[in-house]
Amino acid sequence: MSNTLDVTAGWSRWRRSWWYHATYYAQTWRGSVVSTVFFPIFFLAAFGVGVGHLVTAHHGLVQGQTYLHFIAPSLLATTAMQQAEGESLWPVLAAVKWLRTYHAAAATPLEPEDIFYGKLAWVVTRSFLTGVFYTIVIGCFGAIESWWSLTLPIIGALVSLAFAAPLVAFAARSQSDGSFVTIYRFAFVPMFLFSATFYPVSAYPGYLRPLVQLVPLYHGVALARAAAFGQGSLGAITIHFCFLVAMALVGIAWGRRTMRRRLVD
């Protein structure tokens, strides 16, 4: 039994769990691929171009960028968050309660931790692929200015891991989906709207700014923006990066416990 945080030792086993999730997705991919492809285009067209026109006419550049360039990276971060959320709540509850597919998997040589890591690995894989596509779309809208933009898919994957780990951990210990909608409406919608996604953090009154900086998505947005423009201080980037990594690690530590408790004890 692997009770240390030595993740790599179990790789041969949890890659099977990854494979399981990938195979499952392969059967249900159509609708979500369509949304993955079209949603960023829609959003960039509406906000970047449509609202962007209004902003350019009235305000001009935002932090030295056109509005389109300004919001493009934040959409990548928010999409990574939304993807993590979509993959982690209902599907996990279904697998541990309604369909009990994780219980079936736990009856094989897989340990609960393996299933958990495999799930996270799959979410990260998917977000990375989405990130690649996003980066291309952003590029097509002309919103890429630096070689650092090549790291955008990795940032997307990190953001999704930071959210997926605690969410899977939470879903694994849930008895019903009653709280999920509440989480969505009181955590994810506000995060989407108030993480300096659509305007710079300077829009907030001074006393609110530290609060905004406590919002996890804010760090994802800031990191993506820094990469897309190739700017930002090393100190700030380190903080954003560490915040997300810390969130992922806490989520992983919690998820190992909840998954084991749900599947074995």
Partner 1 sequence: MLTRVLPRFGTRRSTHIFERNFMVYRSQWLMLVSGFFEPFFYLLSIGIGLNSLVGNFHVGGQVITYATFVAPAMLATSAMNGAVIDSIFNPFFRLKISHAYEAVLATPLDVNDVALGEVWWALARAGIYAASFIVCMALLGDANSVWVVLCWPAAVLTSFTFSALGLAACTYMRSWQDFDIVALVQLPLFLFSGTFFPISSYPGWLGAIVSISPLYQSTSLLRGLALGQFAWIMTFRMAYLLVLAFVGLTLAARRFRRILVP
Binding-site member from 194, 213, 239, 241 for partner 1 (CB under 8 A): 194
- Give 95-103's long-range contacts (Cβ < 8 A, gap of 24+): 96/171, 96/172, 96/262, 96/263, 97/174, 97/175, 102/259, 102/262, 102/263, 103/263
Given a contact cutoff of 8 angstroms between Cβ atoms, the answer to whether 17 and 124 are in contact is no
Nearer to partner 1, 55 or 252 (CB): 55
Amino acid found at 185: R
The Cα–Cα gap between 18 and 103 comes to: 16
Nearer to partner 1, 45 or 264 (CB): 45
* 182 sits near partner 1 (criterion: CB under 8 A): yes
* 146 sits near partner 1 (criterion: CB under 8 A): no
The Cα–Cα gap between 256 and 171 comes to: 12
* 26 sits near partner 1 (criterion: CB under 8 A): no
- The count of other CB atoms within 10 Å of the CB of residue 253 is 13
Binding-site member from 6, 8, 12, 31 for partner 1 (CB under 8 A): 31
Nearer to partner 1, 12 or 182 (CB): 182
Binding-site member from 28, 63, 146, 238 for partner 1 (CB under 8 A): 28
- The count of other CB atoms within 10 Å of the CB of residue 67 is 23
* 34 sits near partner 1 (criterion: CB under 8 A): yes
Q: Is 62 helix (H, G, I), strand (E, B) or coil?
A: strand
- Residues 35-54 within binding reach of partner 1 (CB under 8 A): 35, 38-39, 42-43, 45-47, 50-51, 53-54
In the bound complex, what is the minimum distance in angstroms from residue 190's beta carbon to partner 1?
5
* 185 sits near partner 1 (criterion: CB under 8 A): yes
Binding piece for partner 1, criterion CB under 8 A, among 110-118, 137-145, 147-155, 192-200: 192-200
Nearer to partner 1, 44 or 223 (CB): 44
The Cα–Cα gap between 171 and 88 comes to: 7
- Residue that is written with structure tokens 């949603």 in the block: 39
Given a contact cutoff of 8 angstroms between Cβ atoms, the answer to whether 79 and 39 are in contact is yes
Q: Is 126 helix (H, G, I), strand (E, B) or coil?
A: helix
How many residues line the site for partner 1 (CB under 8 A)? Answer: 37
Closest by CA to 116, choosing from 81, 158, 73, 168, is 168
Q: What DSSP character marks residue 200?
A: -
Nearer to partner 1, 190 or 230 (CB): 190
- Residues 58-97 within binding reach of partner 1 (CB under 8 A): 58-59, 62, 67
Binding site for partner 1 (CB under 8 A): 28, 30-32, 34-35, 38-39, 42-43, 45-47, 50-51, 53-55, 57-59, 62, 67, 178, 181-182, 185-186, 189-190, 193-194, 198-200, 203-204
